[in-house]
Chain A
Amino acid sequence: MIALDWYLALSAILFTIGVIGVLTRKNAIVIFMCAELMLNAVNLSLVSFSAHLGDVHGQILVFFSLCVAAAEAAVGLAIIIAIFRNNLSVDITRINLLRW
């Protein structure tokens, strides 16, 4: 049997890959995908806690987090479309009107 810490470690690794992706990538869509990866990693933690505690509440929290991810995806992609219409680019280094 795989113990809880393996699942948590996997979740931590995926979360970190997401964090590094958000911080290093320049393409707004990819940055957003990395943020989705972070949410996924957290969901994995929640499900593994839920399974080891023998408690359904963690799984319900994942259900809500899925809803939030879907809502964020809808709004986020709409914002990315709007910014693409303005700049003809989704590269965040080319979109830097506002600084300091």
Chain B
Amino acid sequence: MKIGVFVCYCGENIGRTVDCAAVAKELSAYPGVAHAEAYKYMCSDPGQNLIKQAIKEKNLDAVVVGSCSPHMHEKTFRKACASAGVNPYMVEIANLREHCSWIHDDIPSATAKAIDLVRIAVEKVKYNEPLQTIQVPVTKRALVIGGGIAGIQSALDIANAGFPVVLVEKEPSIGGHMSQLSETFPTLDCSQCILTPRMVEVYQHSNITLLTYSEVEKVEGFIGNFKVTVRKKARSVKDEVCTGCGLCVQNCPIKKKAQSEFDESLTTRPAIYVPFPQAVPNIPVIDRSVCTYYKTGKCQMCKKVCGREAIDFDQQDTFLTFDIGAIIAATGYKLYKIDKKPEGHIYKGYGEYGYGELKDVIDGLQFERIASASGPTSGEILRPSDKKEPKKVVFVQCVGSRDESKGFSYCSKICCMYTAKHAMLYKHKVHDGEAYVFYMDIRSNGKGYDEFVRRAIEEDGVKYIRGRVSKIYEENGKYIVKGEDTIAGVRMEIDADMVVLATAMIPQPENSKVAQLLGIPYDKHGFMQEVHPKLRPVETSTGGIFLAGACHSPRDIPESVSMASAAAAKAMVLFGSDILEREPVVAKVEASTCAGCFYCQKVCAYSAIERKEIRDRQGNLIKVVAYVNAGLCQGCGTCNATCPSKSVELIGFRDEQIFAEIQSLSGF
């Protein structure tokens, strides 16, 4: 075998501590090495050309590059060699930067170590095989989990590019929290007015299969080749025949039993209901937990009045399976509730603000419903307890956020902006009202955002008080808010008519369940985890699965929309080719020595080990052995280390290759 050795100075990075010329010189005389040289910037065009030239001139079979970490340029050098006719997997990188020059000071010993590193790479490459990438087909269909603004955006982007999309939403309607808002900052656009056209577009799009009141049940497979099972929950209404006339909803006798989820428990809804008038699809759902028919068998009022025979009390959940190439998780958020939590729960609730039992101490989404023209008070600011117009409203920021002791350590990002918006909306509607905002900091860093908050203060007369609130309690219909202004150093006690708490933005409770189904990591709060916070914010560590919106971290609408389009773009990168090339550095089981203990399956984090039956010519079962699904395997090597009979090899890091390195290093 003729091996070429190329040592990079990496400018000063390696060259300052390692005598690269000496390394090249030492290796030029080494058995197997046909060519050795050092160069300032091996990864540059001229550097790569040196390699290509040497390959051609000296007929090299394999290449070793002493350079920075393979994370940086392994791909670069593999590509260069491939273009010169050397199989890209006959290339090994000796890390002379992160593993040598960057961690040592003494030039002679660093140089000696560099020589060792290059030499053992040479010994390893002698056992390399010319591998081929694994080619898998790609199903050009996307799954979007979650029908809020992020999910809607992703679905539309992919569908408009011509690819089919399956959009799964657990609520009876798409729209998410954005459909509950009255107006959005900083333009004060009517939220539903800008959202509903999108919702309708999704409903009518020929490329989008919309499954509402549905949840993802099972996800199998791997990038480009997922098999997803969706549970379509029983609405008790036949969606093929329902026209959305609403007669059933109007005539349902159970009007007060159930809290309206859409109105954040400010009103009640019937047992058969459509969450809001602009719901998409406009098909009702029966809440079987409160419906009389399911409890006692009596009352079939909805069925009686329905002119289309759309009511089907016996309807069952159905299961649909799809072949999917890329998945986007857009499951969104909910607001933290300050109620007292049960004993042993990790969070405690806010007793100092009333544990959620004070009727007029509400949260941000409830205020949105009150301010909303389609809400329980038709847009008039009236407080929940007695429907009177509050003349003094106190807004408290950071309830649950930035609170390591009782809540969450992170900042929920949107509260400063929506509180300013709430205070402004209140002042616009109640001209003689007083609005107070207790804040710690103002985080308003979007386009036009800071100006928006200044507008609240300067034009709308909202009084901003810098300090947190210690306690809120009720006295005679007024809410005594005990706070402090730390700038003036004075106590601030306000007797408010209503208090709005900006509670923390937390992941939906099902987030962790969805993450587990998808096999993607999530953090201690339940937010789904990206693979790299700076450079790969929408990808997860599982290939083919992307993130969009608040399920990743607190964010506002423009950020959710941007992230959704980014995730859609990533999915479409996959769909851009018919074949997906996968790294061949995967595990492989030698069936003849495999004892079928399946320890490897137990330790595989990627569910890549399958069971394979070995049968004789007559079809009798001889044994069941482990088998690696090359598509799912990430090449981590854990199975290789675990196997008691040494039947699993990691291609590209076979035992022979590793032992060659060790042998060379130890001088045996």
Partners in one complex: no
Interface residues of chain B, those whose CB is within 8 Å of chain A, are none
Interface residues of chain A, those whose CB is within 8 Å of chain B, are none
